[in-house]
Chain A
Amino acid sequence: MQREVGTLPLAPALRARLAAAGFQTAQELLDTGPCGLSKEIGISREEALEALQVVRQECHGDAARTAGESGATRRCTALELLEEEQTQGFIITFCSALDNILGGGVQLTKITEICGAPGVGKTQLCMQLAVDVQIPECFGGVAGEAVFIDTEGSFMVDRVVDIAAACVQHCHLIAEAQQEQDHWEALETFSLENILSHIYYFRCRDYIELLAQVYLLPEFLSEHSKVRLVVIDGIAFPFRHDFEDLSLRTRLLNGLAQQLIIVANDHKAAVVLTNQMTTRIGQSQSMLIPALGESWGHAATVRLIFHWDNSQRLATLYKSPSQKESTIAYHITSHGFRDVQPPAVTHSAEGTELNPRKRPRTEEEEK
């Protein structure tokens, strides 16, 4: 009730008038009443009534909040955060080298940005993740659903079908090797049609549609609470033409990044963005850097840069709060995103603790 007038959610012009008329606390407003208010600051009775309703609601909300627990701001200790982070799932990429440098895979509640030249595999990784997020928990996945926002039109569903079929096949082979009941139960719902039906696809043709779609994301994620991955492929394309005013672009991108951070945190989802590369012309040579400018570099928590070295594709972890910078090689096969060399053959399973995501590789599978 002692709340200051300046902190109430009223229109700025109205707040200015109230301050000029000498009102300081919410209680004073409520005591004056609508008729007195309309006379004092020269607004209509209806407007005064509405303003008072807002004030009353706010005060009630305040009371409930202070009576109960904290509400909008959470208080917890670093130990609680550590425990939460350690039990957090990762979305695996099927390339164990990449998973290792990421610390387990693509992390939930964080924004990961993938930058690279055209053709290096950014969209392939996004499609792989959209399938991998759905892997059941008994196989080491997070059993979630995926939202795929496409701005370039590069989402080819035939390719997703190949990737999904390979993933289902992989899980089948694990289940056969380990012969556990819950594996077979999980596999009943982990089929090609199921995987495809849980990838929600949105096509945005310009930046307005993209901004509108991101505004609607929190509501969509509340309705579809199993979504654990939001992919935006690519974020640079709609913002790199048509912008005479670069400061407008920076402001819009910052707003977008903030909304995505909120979405990632509130809904425990991983947000994956793909970015283009642009040339920076230095004194003696030119090099490729991620597009959208320096300030956009702060938006993502984790940044991966994909590039070529002769004919080998490489992934560099360029920015991460917890992992060190390193580079690994990867392949894109007909099954999707994979390692370059298969990991060392593991001999018979009894006695050794098997990673539930991996199955023993046999000689014929080397690619």
Chain B
Amino acid sequence: MDWDQFDLNPKTIAALKKADIKSVKEIFNLSGADLQRLMKLSSADIQCLLKTVSHTLRRNSMLTALQLYQDRDHLTSQHQKLSLGCSVLDNLLKGGIPLVGITELSGESSAGKTQISLQLCLCVQYPYKYGGLESGAVYICTEDVFPSKRLQQLIDQQQKLRADVPAEVIQKIRFGNSIFIEQAADLDTFQQCITRRLSLLLARGMVRLVVIDSLAALFRCEFGPSESALKARYLQTFGAQLHSLSTRFRTPIMCINQVMDAVSESEAAQCSCRALGNRVTPALGITWSNQLLMRLMVSRVSLPGHSSGVASHRAGSMRTLSVVFAPHLPPSFCYYTVQLEGVKGIK
């Protein structure tokens, strides 16, 4: 650590070097008395050191809420979101997926989670004007094999799904080239993947969406009931690493999660899923829920011949996408179907 870059007294810099203090983290971790003892300086000098270091660390970090609101620059604005490729679904989410933070998509099997994620991997490649981020996606598979045939189908049908985008724009995008597929079947491989491969791809600007399908699979077999503390630590570490990548590179992280049956009413209530009528809760518990910015849930709707408005769709293929919690959205839901060209919402 180059202490000269801080605006410090030469005596303090000499004391820091002599006490072998190598980073700002060490300074904050040591108590005031320890610092005085190690650096042989008075308490006033130590206070001055802490203030100076804090100033340098937090220079230019203040924004007013008005500045946040008026910022429309697509590189920094909060208003910029990743579109889902369908205006009905985007309206439910007030624009799409937020760019900073972990979004979870949970639901029973074959409810449509993979379909939505594949669609997102294609949407991210569109220009900013059409709700994309002009960049690729990373798809991390942990148990199933990647559905490449379905991806190809979706690519071929993009023009039909995105009728709002001119044909020449769609033709110019090489969809298949920008989707990077990673396999991570156990915790260590997953850890490697996040810390090495992902940061590399993100730092080079090649991807701006990370899809993890699914996180629960990594934890299902490895932890017995007595190892819940260890499992919680892993979850917190992964959550923190993903969160930090998302913040640094302004990249949405979409985690697909599975659901378990809610054993009691209180459990179902704890994760805010009671409104949906089904007694399932997302896997991985409250430790994982604490890491999330937004939680979405998909489920199949089993309606034997419902209202007239949906009679044209095959009964049984209707699904709901609901917002379980989000800081900027009320709990709400909408219907959608999975068609050949992708996921489309129903008004």
Contacts and interface: CB of A to CB of B under 8 A. Distances in A.
Interface of A: 9-14, 54, 117-120, 123-124, 130, 148, 152-161, 193, 195-203, 205-206, 208-209, 211-213, 215-216, 219, 236-237, 240-242, 248, 251-252, 255, 276-279, 281, 288, 308-311, 332, 334
Contact of A117 (B24, B270, B328): B270
Contacts of A212: 28, 53-54, 57-58
Contact of A159 (B50, B239, B324, B328): B328
Contact of A118 (B64, B240, B292): B292
B29 A248 contact: yes
Interface residues of B, number: 62
Contacts of B58: 202, 209, 212-213, 216
Contacts of B55: 216
Q: Is the interface of A mostly helix, strand, loop or mixed?
A: mixed
Most interface-central of B24, B66, B275, B293 (chain A CB within 10 A)? B66
A196 to B, nearest CB: 4
Contact of A13 (B40, B66, B293): B40
Interface string B49-63: 011011101100111
Interface in B268-302: 269-272, 274-275, 285-287, 289-290, 292-293, 295
Nearest to B53: A212
A240 B236 contact: yes
B240 A242 contact: yes
Contact of B240 (A158, A213, A241, A278): A241
A160 B65 contact: yes
B65 A152 contact: no
Contact of B66 (A117, A197, A211): A197
Contacts, number: 166
Most interface-central of A156, A195, A219, A252 (chain B CB within 10 A)? A156
A11 B101 contact: no
A9 B43 contact: yes
Contacts of B66: 193, 196-197, 199
Given A118-B289, A276-B290, A251 B31 contact: yes
Contacts of A213: 54, 58, 61
14 contacts: A9-B44, A117-B270, A118-B286, A118-B295, A124-B327, A156-B98, A156-B327, A158-B78, A161-B69, A202-B61, A202-B63, A212-B28, A216-B58, A219-B51
B247 A12 contact: no
A279 B270 CA distance: 11
B42 A11 contact: yes
A154 B327 contact: yes
